[in-house]
Amino acid sequence: MNLKNFVEGITILQPYYDMPDGYHLGAEHDQIFLYATSRPVSDEDVKKLRELGWFQSEVLTDDDEKPVYDPTEGWSAYV
């Protein structure tokens, strides 16, 4: 993932946390994690995040093989 898409994804998710400047970030090897947001992300922002390369590791796909959004799960990006 390039720096622009990484920053844009964080910028989209930040307002969805009750404490936007809190500790909502984790990392493991080549994957960055943002923990589940305090409020559900809008459909429009979910679409933007996916276009930027962000994903939810633990979320399955629907019958049409499209990823399903789960507000109880966090977001990840490979860097």
> Which pLDDT does position 62 carry in this prediction?
72
Instruction: Tell me the per-residue pLDDT of 17-72, one tens digit each, with 9 for 90 and over.
Output: 999 888 888 888 889 999 999 999 999 999 999 999 999 987 877 777 777 899 99
Q: What is the mean pLDDT of residues 2-11?
A: 92
* Best CA proximity match to 48, nearest among 18, 77, 78, 5: 5
Domain ranges of the chain: 3-78
> Which pLDDT does position 75 carry in this prediction?
95
- The helix (run of H) or strand (run of E) holding residue 77 is strand 75-78
